[in-house]
Amino acid sequence: MTTATTVKTEYEAIIGLETHCQLSTNTKIFSNSSTAFGSDPNTNIDPVCMGLPGVLPVLNEKVLEYAVKAGLALNCQIAKYSKFDRKQYFYPDLPKNYQISQYDLPIAEHGWLEIELVDAEGNPIRKRIGITRLHMEEDAGKLVHAGSDRLSGSSYSLVDYNRAGIPLVEIVSEPDLRSGVEAAEYAEELRRIVRYLGVSDGNMEQGSLRCDVNISVRPVGRKEFGTKVEIKNMNSFSAIQRAIDYEIERQIAAIEAGDRIIQETRLWQEGAQCTSSMRVKEGSSDYRYFPEPDLAPIEVSNEQLEQWRSELPELPAQKRHHYENELGLSPYDARVLTEDRSIAEYFETAIASGANAKAAANWITQDIAAHLNKQKLTISQIGLTPTNLADIITRIETGKISNAQAKQKLPDLLSGISPEKAFAGQELITDPSVLEPIIDEVIAANSKELEKYRNGNTNLKGFFVGQVLKKTDKRADPKLTNELVEKKLNA
C-alpha cells in the first residue's frame, strides 16, 4: 500500500492512463502465427499480419473471450454489438500502413477499479478510478535502431514484425488520478487483475504491459482542463510515478513563468530523470478511422456473457477485503498475500487444511517469502505443500514442536520432506518429571552463574534456559522450561 501525495496546493494535476495489455493467447489476433516472446526476428509472421494482397483477417475467439473477461473484471458494460475499425498511420513497423482497432463501438465501456493508499497518518484510503473504455486491437512491429551516426545516433534501422498482429486490449482510464503515486497504484492494480484472470502475464520488461500517461495541470477551482501532454517510454511503476511527478513540476513552472503548454507527446528519459519532447500530439481526426471492411461486427450473446462471467475468479480487491474483515489480517499482510494469485491460493489451502490464518500469513510473508526471493522461485516450485504448512502450524500450536524447531527444519521442509519425517523423534519434552533432572544438572554445573543470578543478575535466567535447550537438542518445551528454571533458581 502506497502513501498518497499531493502537488502544490494552488494547482491540481489531472491524470489519465492508457494501458496496452498483451493477451496471453498462443496465436495472433487475426492469424495463426505464434505469439511466443524471444523468437528470432521475423520468424513469427504470415501473409495476414504482413498485410499481403488477397488475405483476410479472422478474429481469434480467445481474444474476444479474454477481452470480455477483462471488461467484466473492471466492472464495465459489455457491448452487445461492437465492431473493428481501421486506424490509418504510416510508420515502418506497421506493415499494412493501418492498424485494426476499435473506435466508436468498443467491446467494453464505463467501468472502474479501486486503488488503495494510505494518508500521511497511516490511515487507509480507497479510491475508485473510472474506466472509460476497453477495446481490442493488434500491435505493431518493432524498430531496432543500430549503427553509429554523429548527428542522429544511429546510421540505419532494422524492423522485426514478430509483434505485428499480437493481440492487445487498450484500457483507457477516466482522468480521475491526481498524483504519480495514484497512477502507479492504478497500474499495479490493473496488472494484478489481468494476472488473476490469466488473460495476460503483465510483464512490463517484455512489453506485455505498457502505459501512456495523459497529464495536465490547472489552478485549483478551475473547471476547464489544462493542455494535455502525453508521456511514453515508461517500463516500470516507479518510472510512471517519477515521470508524472516531474511533469507536474515542469508544467507548474511553465504556467508560473507565463509560458504556453503545448499538446505534445513526450518521452521519459530514465537516465536524466526528465521528460523530453518527441512530437506534436495527433488528434483522432488525423487517423482517419473508418469501419474495417474485412471483419464482421461482433455480437456477444447473453448466454456467452454469463458463461464467461461465471468463470471469473475472486479478484485481488475482493480477497484483500475478505482477509482483513473476515480473517482479521492486517492491510499489509492482506496486500502481500494477494499480490499473486498462486500465493493467495496457497494461503487459502493452508487455512482450509486447519492452519491459523495469522500464523499461516506470517510463515508465507516472512520465512517462505525470504526463501522465494533468495532462490528466485515461485511458490508453486517449493516442496512444502500448503497442507504440510498447516500440519507444521498445528504441531507448534499443540506443543508438539517449537517455533524454533520448525524454523531450523524449514530448509528440509521446503525441499519436500514431510513434517512426519522432519520431526521424527523431535517432539517437545513437555513432562516436568523429565525436564527437572536436566535443569538440576545444568544448575549444578554452573555454580558461578547461579551465585551471580542470586546476587541480582536475573538476566542469567536466559543462560540457564539456553543450556537446558542445548542439552535437549532444543526439544525442551521453551515455555515450561522457563517456568521450571525460574522456580529452581529462586528456590
Residue 420 has pLDDT above 60, yes or no: yes
48 shares its domain with 87: yes
Residue 282 has pLDDT above 80, yes or no: no
212 shares its domain with 168: yes
Residue 5 has pLDDT above 90, yes or no: no
Q: Is residue 284 a part of any domain in this protein?
A: yes
Q: Is residue 309 a part of any domain in this protein?
A: no
Its domain, for residue 449, covers 432-489
In the predicted model, what is the mean pLDDT of residues 407-416?
94
Q: Is residue 153 a part of any domain in this protein?
A: yes
pLDDT digits (tens, 9 = 90+) for 355-384: 999 999 999 999 999 999 999 999 999 999
From CA 378, how far away is CA 201, in angstroms rounded? 14
Q: Is residue 130 a part of any domain in this protein?
A: yes
Q: How many domains does the chain have?
A: 3
Predicted pLDDT of residue 110: 98
Residue 303 has pLDDT above 60, yes or no: yes
Query: 359: helix, coil or strand?
Result: helix
| C-beta of residue 240 within 8 angstroms of C-beta of residue 33 | no
From CA 341, how far away is CA 198, in angstroms rounded? 10
pLDDT digits (tens, 9 = 90+) for 60-75: 999 999 999 999 999 9
Residue 463 has pLDDT above 80, yes or no: yes
pLDDT digits (tens, 9 = 90+) for 18-67: 999 999 999 999 999 999 999 999 999 999 999 999 999 999 999 999 99
CATH code for the domain of 447 = 1.10.10.410
Q: Is residue 472 a part of any domain in this protein?
A: yes
Backbone angles phi, psi at 401, to 5 degrees: -135, 165
Residue 6 has pLDDT above 60, yes or no: no
Q: What letters, b where the CB count within 10 A reaches 16 and e where it falls short, cover 64-81?
A: bbbbbbbbbbbebebbee
185 shares its domain with 270: yes
Domain boundary residue among 251, 284, 304?
304
pLDDT band (50, 70, 90) for residue 8: low
Tell me the CA distances in angstroms from 193 to 73, 91, 107, 319, 341, one per residue in order: 7, 33, 18, 12, 9
120 shares its domain with 187: yes
> Over pLDDT 90: what percentage of the chain?
75
From CA 63, how far away is CA 305, in angstroms rounded? 14
Predicted pLDDT of residue 430: 83
Domain boundary residue among 422, 456, 473?
422
195 shares its domain with 278: yes
Q: Is residue 161 a part of any domain in this protein?
A: yes
pLDDT band (50, 70, 90) for residue 145: confident
346 shares its domain with 406: yes
Q: Is residue 427 a part of any domain in this protein?
A: no
Predicted pLDDT of residue 283: 59
292 shares its domain with 370: no
Predicted pLDDT of residue 272: 93
8 shares its domain with 110: yes
128 shares its domain with 95: yes
Sign of the C-alpha dihedral computed for residues 201, 207, 212 and 213 taken in this order: positive
Contacts of 51-58 with C-beta under 8 Å, sequence gap 24+, read 51/95, 51/96, 51/97, 56/294, 57/29, 57/30, 57/31, 57/100, 57/294, 57/295, 58/30, 58/31
Tell me the CA distances in angstroms from 130 to 3, 59, 112, 186, 192, one per residue in order: 21, 28, 4, 10, 17
From CA 294, how far away is CA 265, in angstroms rounded? 32
Q: What is the pTM of this model?
A: 0.86
The mean pLDDT value of the chain amounts to 92
79 shares its domain with 161: yes
Predicted pLDDT of residue 387: 97
Predicted pLDDT of residue 179: 95
285 shares its domain with 332: no
482 shares its domain with 367: no
Query: 144: helix, coil or strand?
Result: strand
Predicted pLDDT of residue 475: 83
| C-beta of residue 419 within 8 angstroms of C-beta of residue 410 | no
Domain boundary residue among 388, 422, 456?
422
For residue 95 the three cell numbers come to 506493415
Q: Is residue 469 a part of any domain in this protein?
A: yes
From CA 303, how far away is CA 309, in angstroms rounded? 10
Residues near 151 by beta carbon (within 8 Å), at least 6 away in sequence: none
Predicted pLDDT of residue 285: 63
